[in-house]
């Protein structure tokens, strides 16, 4: 079996973390060698960058600074964790990747999807997921799901308009990468969503 890079994308509150945990258990039962990780974060340096980006006190952060910090954390996570795992023939299941930057910074922050993609190229050097599963949920429903969390980060606390722009950004991203993005309706019972995502992933692994 060869390594595969699989990204799980979607708006805040789409269920990425819960779904990735459940998928990982199912992959373990099926003895499929994999790691799970997340962006921004996944390793110490990138988690430190995550804390800077998402600290609710950092209200002065400029949009380009934000985009560059996401790209910096992405770079470190890629070289320190993702690429070595792929070289060891592992399946890498990653919550978020460059598509998030295109949607949130490119469209949400109005920096331009192409501009944000080009600064990210310096960081990722053409490494892209083999498959991206997009958990589709409206920003309104997503945000209402996370509203009861004890701590909300700087991006969670952004306006609904920002989250709506990010969602519209994802629409463009889906078209840009239509050959490797699969959309799953995430506004359903968790078990059905998990089962659908699992089937998609296993189909890809089994080629
Ligand atoms: P998380 O809550 O899914 O862990 O992600 C943290 C926040 O960061 C979430 O609101 C989405 C945002 N984000 C971006 O704006 N750009 C990015 O490139 C990434 C990876 C996340």
Q: Which residue has the higher pLDDT, 23 or 148?
A: 23
Residue 2's pLDDT band (cuts 50, 70, 90): confident
Q: Which residues surround ligand 1 with Cβ inside 6 Å?
A: 12, 16, 38-40, 54, 70, 95-96, 100-101, 104-105, 155-156
Q: Convert the pLDDT of each residue in 167-200 to its tens digit.
A: 999 999 999 999 999 999 999 999 999 999 999 9
- Judge whether 59 and 117 are in contact, CB under 8 Å: no
- Residue in this structure with the two tokens 């920002």, named with its chain if needed: 162
- Judge whether 132 and 39 are in contact, CB under 8 Å: no
Q: How many helices (H) and strands (E) does the chain have?
A: 9, 5
The neighbour count for residue 150, using CB atoms within 10 Å, is: 4
Q: Could you give the domains of the chain?
A: 4-206 (3.40.50.300)
Ligand 1 center to residue 143 CA distance, Å?
13
Pairwise CA distance, residues 90 & 36, whole Å: 10
- Judge whether 137 and 205 are in contact, CB under 8 Å: no
Res. 1: pLDDT tops 70: no
Counting every residue written for the chain, the total comes to: 207
Q: Quote the DSSP letter at residue 93.
A: E
Ligand 1 center to residue 39 CA distance, Å?
7
What rounded mean pLDDT belongs to the chain? 97
Ligand 1 center to residue 1 CA distance, Å?
31
Atom 10 of ligand 1 has which residue's CA nearest to it? 155
């Amino acid at each position: 079996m060869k390594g595969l890079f699989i990204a799980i994308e979607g708006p805040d509150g789409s269920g990425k973390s819960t779904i990735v945990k459940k998928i990982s258990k199912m992959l373990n039962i099926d003895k499929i060698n994999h790691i799970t990780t997340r962006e921004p974060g996944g390793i110490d340096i990138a988690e430190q960058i995550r804390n800077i980006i998402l600290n609710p006190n950092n209200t002065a952060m400029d949009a380009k600074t934000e985009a560059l910090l996401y790209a910096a954390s992405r770079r470190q996570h890629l070289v320190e964790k993702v690429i070595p795992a792929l070289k060891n023939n592992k399946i890498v299941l990653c919550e978020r990747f460059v598509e998030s930057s295109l949607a949130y910074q490119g469209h949400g922050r109005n920096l331009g999807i192409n501009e944000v993609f080009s600064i990210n190229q310096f960081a990722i050097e053409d490494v892209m997921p083999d498959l991206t599963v997009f958990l589709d949920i409206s920003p309104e429903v997503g945000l209402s799901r996370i509203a009861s969390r004890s701590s909300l980060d700087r991006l969670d606390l952004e306006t609904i308009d920002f989250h709506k722009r990010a969602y519209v950004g994802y629409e463009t991203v889906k078209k840009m990468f239509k050959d490797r993005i699969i959309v799953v309706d995430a506004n359903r019972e968790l078990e059905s969503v998990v089962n659908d995502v699992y089937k998609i992933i296993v189909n890809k692994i089994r080629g």
